[in-house]
Structure 1
Amino acid sequence: MIVRCVQIISPATGAVVNDHPAVRIGAECPVLEVLTTADKVLLRVPDPIDSLPGAFDSPGLWDAAMFTVLSDRMPACWVAALDDGALSLAPREWQRPGFWEDFFDGVPTAVAEYDRCKAEILKQS
């Protein structure tokens, strides 16, 4: 799935803003995960800095209202999981409790799982 950013909604305030260091209007990016709750839909996309040498890949969750869908092709590695009323479409490895905490803490197994699954998603985009 590929999306294009058409507006920026601040994760902190929910207000539409002109810019944000982690996302750009007009940027096209792959969707790594879709997360839905009763009141919102979030897309996990890689920050644009992940193409810079040595930059830490910090995939963020963004309001789906920020994007328009360019390609609705879903990666084969996505599975649906329901947890506490939230529905996630993502690789099974990312849906285990604590995965994102481990990833952002730099736990090697979580980072390796992220890198492998992200490469698979990008290949299928």
Structure 2
Amino acid sequence: MRVRCLEIIHPDGDYPVVEYDGIRVGCVYPVLEMVAYDVDCQIRVLGPDTPDPGLLWDPIHFETVDPRIPPGWTLTIADGCTHLADARWQRPGFWNDYHQGDPQALADYDHVKSELLASAQPPDN
């Protein structure tokens, strides 16, 4: 799944910017994950200069350019949240383990990220 950034509203204010933390208006990025909390939805997007593990964005500021769901993605519903992401990121505590430097979580993140970046190439026409 790939999306094009249409607009960026700076998180420290209510004003538009052209670029923020490696994401630039008009550019296309792979979606690493989709998370929905009640009525709020966010997508994790990774740009070439975005620090890992990417940033969570409101999808209202993006448009889909490639709707293909990557292989290995699963949908889970738990604790009031819906997650659509690779199954290896769906285990309980994955993101906490990742941020605490757990070697298995870091390896799972790197492996899935590599797969997603490789599969996010434009489809053949």
**TM-score normalised by the chain length of structure 2:** 0.82
Structure 2: state its 5+ residue gaps.
121-125
Inter-CA distance 22–105: structure 2 relative to 1 (3 Å threshold) = farther
Q: Alignment length, in residue pairs?
A: 119
Q: Distance in 2 between matches of 1:102 and 1:70?
A: 32
Aligned to 1:23: 23
Aligned to 2:110: 115
Q: Decide which structure has greater strand share.
A: 2
- Checking the alignment, whether the CA contact within 8 Å between 2:21 and 2:49 is kept in structure 1 is no
Match of 2:59 among 52, 58, 64: 64
Q: Decide which structure has greater helix share.
A: 1
**TM-score normalised by the chain length of structure 1:** 0.82
Aligned AA (1:61): L
1:45 aligns with 2:40: no
* Identical columns (%): 38
RMSD after superposition: 1.9
User: Structure 1: which 4+ aligned runs deviate by more than 6 Å?
Assistant: none
Structure 1: state its 5+ residue gaps.
51-55
- CA displacement at 1:16 relative to structure 2: 4.8
